[in-house]
A and B are shown apart, each in its own frame.
Chain A
Amino acid sequence: AQTVTQSQPEMSVQEAETVTLSCTYDTSESDYYLFWYKQPPSRQMILVIRQEAYKQQNATENRFSVNFQKAAKSFSLKISDSQLGDAAMYFCAYRSARSGGGADGLTFGKGTHLIIQP
């Protein structure tokens, strides 16, 4: 079974600064997908960014980018120019590329609470 580990329960950053959230995962598969989700106080889960394991290029979405290290099984999220609206829980998630059977569903880490200091 796959596992996802987020080692930072809480992180704090000054507004306009850059912060990196860590995520590592354990899998024996070679093809999979990785995601970062944001959960603000409203509890709505919002997809921030996704990465296909077969792609070497790191994904970028505006101020959000990832550092995907496949060999190290690491998938960190970098938030540049942090804004007050970025304050939320951030979850790293894994999904197998296999279809059917027990391969469906996302496996989540326990989350990192990001605090933005004004």
Chain B
Amino acid sequence: DGGITQSPKYLFRKEGQNVTLSCEQNLNHDAMYWYRQDPGQGLRLIYYSQIVNDFQKGDIAEGYSVSREKKESFPLTVTSAQKNPTAFYLCASRPRGWFNYGYTFGSGTRLTVV
């Protein structure tokens, strides 16, 4: 079945460490997104990519980095510069040009700083 796979489901990070969250899709979607979810805050856009080798900052990009070397993959790195990284992270995708298409979401990664 087609979908988005996020891994790991749970991730623990020590202070000062960089960690990378994986997002893989087999939907042949061109656009991919990373959102952060905090309690009572809804979802906020971190980064997005509409095509391979191109990506744009969202509303809260500071302390995060991404790459898009393959259409299927859009990994998110949470760097040590991110002051409050504990959150739930969701990856999403959308077919190119389908602006009225509701995005498909992965099942998320819960990141906790220990």
Contact = CB atoms under 8 A, between A and B. Distances in A.
A91 B41 CA distance: 11
Contacts of A102: 56
Given A44-B105, A45-B90, A105-B48, A33 B100 contact: yes
Contact of B45 (A33, A106, A109): A106
Contact of A37 (B41, B45, B88, B102): B102
- What is the predominant secondary structure among interface residues of chain B facing chain A? strand
Assign chain B's interface to a size class: 20 to 34
Most chain A CB within 10 A, of B31, B41, B97, B102, is at B102
A84 B48 CA distance: 35
B43 to A, nearest CB: 4
B90 to A, nearest CB: 6
A35 B105 CA distance: 14
B8 to A, nearest CB: 14
